[in-house]
């Protein structure tokens, strides 16, 4: 990144950092204590202020109303927003909407973009993405039972999805379904199809309780059914059979988004840990920070967070230069490495806070519950480690065939 590019970005990052601290920070106690819907009016006011500052949807091109940032630049923004659980939502770049915006922008027809992308970009609606199925391993995205059978000018969708994040209240879903069951290559069997909420046959069964939290709205994970659900063929995104390729195109940048958000979470947890170590006295004149174990946790966390940031931004720059295919190994590497750093930093911060860390008076317990999934979603750590090992071993003349 050149100095001429970095300086304007640094100014924007300072703006965002101040907004997260002063505008969103005061809302966090309510977020932890109240149903999210009670917080929506305050969040809409905050989102309006973000728009007024010209910081809305920073990941999108300028012609779509965004800031036209590169993936590496947006990665730095994502870190700042990740310091608060409300950050990405306030700036309209929260998952899964951010991935759906990018997908619609790049591959949807003009009619679909006008009908659905515009309202999504403006924050008037929100969306969900339905790919994972309870009957099949989520780590194998070509093993799907949900089908979209073509009848004339319509697809008839039948299937069962779960962990369809943010389906509660979403205006539409983008569904991964098998349209070409007889295609010789498994990766060419599925397509992605937009299904409006309210379409007959599209049913939310329940919000799945996760770590004791049923969730609602943006913070929910739904079990959904498609039963004879009919939508026009024009609702397909991209070519028929291109669902897997689009999913890979979406998930590569998505892992940058997630990893940089996790680093923001780490930085906030690290700050809380250091403050607690400095202020908590074990005895008069003996701060918790005087203990060697705590000092080691602080040093290890600092090193791991910094390493995670450099690895992730390097991967983002590789994608910016050559696309997802050019950074496949790096994408898998950061996925399991940063998820591991996140878990360790949160665990150390919680341990330093003792009993207080387990309460819902702080964000630590919320993140400890909700971010455990980082090692599972978007591909479990073990799958990504196998991908990296396979590619490394090819250089030594070994094909482990997984």
DSSP state letters, 224-267: EEEEEEEEEGGGEESSTT-HHHHHHHHHHHHHHHHHHHHHHHHH
Q: Is the pLDDT of residue 325 over 90?
A: no
Residues 141-168 pLDDT 10s = 788 999 999 999 999 999 999 999 999 9
Cα 122 to Cα 263: distance, rounded to the nearest angstrom: 27
Note the pLDDT of residue 7. Answer: 63
Decide if 216 contacts 222 (C-beta within 8 A): no
| Torsion 221-223-42-118 (CA) sign | positive
pLDDT of 2 over the 50 cut: no
Average model confidence (pLDDT) for the chain?
94
- Reported confidence tier of residue 6, pLDDT bands at 50, 70, 90: low
Instruction: State the pLDDT at residue 62.
Output: 92
Q: How far is CA 90 from CA 94, 272, 391, in A?
A: 8, 22, 39
pLDDT at position 402 over 80: no
> Which positions ≥6 away from 194 have C-beta within 8 Å?
108, 112, 116, 172, 173, 174, 175, 231, 235, 236, 237
Query: 23-37, 125-139, 256-270, 348-362: which has the minimum mean pLDDT?
Result: 125-139
Q: What are the residues facing 155 on neighbouring strands? A: 150, 231
Kindly report whether the global pTM for this prediction surpasses the value 0.85. Answer: yes
Pick the CATH number of 244-394 from 1.20.140.10, 1.10.10.10, 3.40.190.10, 3.30.2310.20: 1.20.140.10
pLDDT of 242: 96
Task: Report pLDDT for 4.
Answer: 40
Fold of the domain spanning 3-108: Butyryl-Coa Dehydrogenase, subunit A; domain 1 (1.10.540)
Q: Please give the share of the chain, as a percent, with pLDDT higher than 70.
A: 98
pLDDT given for residue 218 in this prediction: 86
Q: Across residues 394-401, what is the average pLDDT?
A: 90
- Range of lowest pLDDT (14-23, 144-153, 245-254): 245-254
Average pLDDT over residues 181-202: 96
What tens digit of pLDDT does each residue of 90-147 get? 999 999 999 999 999 999 999 999 999 999 999 999 999 999 999 988 777 788 999 9
Q: Could you tell me which CATH number the domain at 127-237 has?
A: 2.40.110.10
Residue 276 has pLDDT above 90, yes or no: yes
CATH topology agreement for domains 3-108 and 127-237: no
Token code pair at residue 9: 């970005």
Q: Are 113 and 172 in contact (CB under 8 A)?
A: no
How much is the average pLDDT of 302-326? 96
Burial of 287 (0-12, 13-18, 19+ CB in 10 A): middle
Q: Is the dihedral of CA 258, 263, 268, 274 positive or negative?
A: positive
Helical packing angle, 243-279 and 71-81, nearest 10°: 40
Question: What's the rounded mean pLDDT across residues 184-194?
Answer: 95
The domain segmentation of the chain, as residue ranges, is: 3-108, 127-237, 244-394
């Amino acid at each position: 990144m050149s100095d001429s590019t970095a300086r304007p970005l640094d100014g924007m990052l300072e703006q965002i950092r101040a907004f997260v601290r002063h505008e969103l920070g005061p809302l966090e106690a309510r977020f932890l204590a109240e149903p999210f819907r009670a917080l929506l009016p305050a969040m809409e006011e905050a989102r309006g202020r973000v728009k007024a500052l010209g910081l809305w949807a920073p990941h999108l091109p300028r012609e779509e109303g965004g800031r036209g940032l590169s993936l590496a630049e947006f990665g730095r923004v994502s870190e700042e927003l990740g310091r608060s659980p409300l950050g990405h939502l306030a700036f309209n770049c929260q998952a899964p909407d951010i991935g759906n915006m990018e997908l619609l922008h790049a591959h949807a027809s003009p009619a679909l973009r006008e009908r659905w992308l515009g309202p999504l970009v403006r924050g008037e609606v929100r969306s969900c993405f339905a790919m994972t199925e309870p009957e099949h391993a989520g780590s194998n995205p070509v093993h799907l039972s949900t089908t979209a059978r073509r009848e004339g000018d319509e697809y008839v969708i039948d299937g069962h999805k779960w962990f369809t994040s943010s389906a509660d209240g979403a205006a539409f879903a983008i569904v991964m379904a098998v349209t070409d069951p007889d295609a010789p290559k498994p990766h060419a069997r599925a397509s992605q199809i937009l299904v409006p909420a309210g379409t007959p046959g599209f049913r939310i069964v329940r919000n799945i309780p996760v770590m004791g939290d049923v969730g609602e709205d943006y913070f929910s994970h739904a079990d959904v059914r498609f039963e004879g659900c009919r939508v026009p063929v024009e609702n397909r995104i991209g070519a028929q059979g291109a669902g897997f390729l689009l999913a890979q195109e979406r998930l590569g940048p998505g892992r940058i988004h997630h990893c940089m958000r996790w680093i923001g979470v780490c930085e906030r947890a690290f700050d809380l840990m250091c403050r607690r170590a400095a202020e908590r006295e074990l005895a008069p004149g003996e701060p918790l920070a005087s203990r060697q174990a705590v000092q080691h946790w602080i040093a290890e966390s600092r090193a791991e967070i910094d390493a995670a940031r450099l690895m992730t931004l390097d991967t983002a720059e590789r994608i910016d230069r050559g696309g997802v295919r050019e950074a496949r190994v790096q994408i898998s590497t950061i996925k399991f490495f940063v998820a591991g750093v996140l878990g360790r930093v949160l665990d150390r911060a919680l341990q330093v806070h003792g009993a207080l860390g387990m309460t819902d008076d702080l964000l630590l317990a919320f993140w400890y519950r909700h971010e455990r999934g980082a090692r599972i979603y978007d591909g479990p750590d073990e799958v990504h480690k196998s991908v990296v090992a396979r590619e490394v071993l090819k250089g030594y003349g070994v094909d482990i065939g997984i």
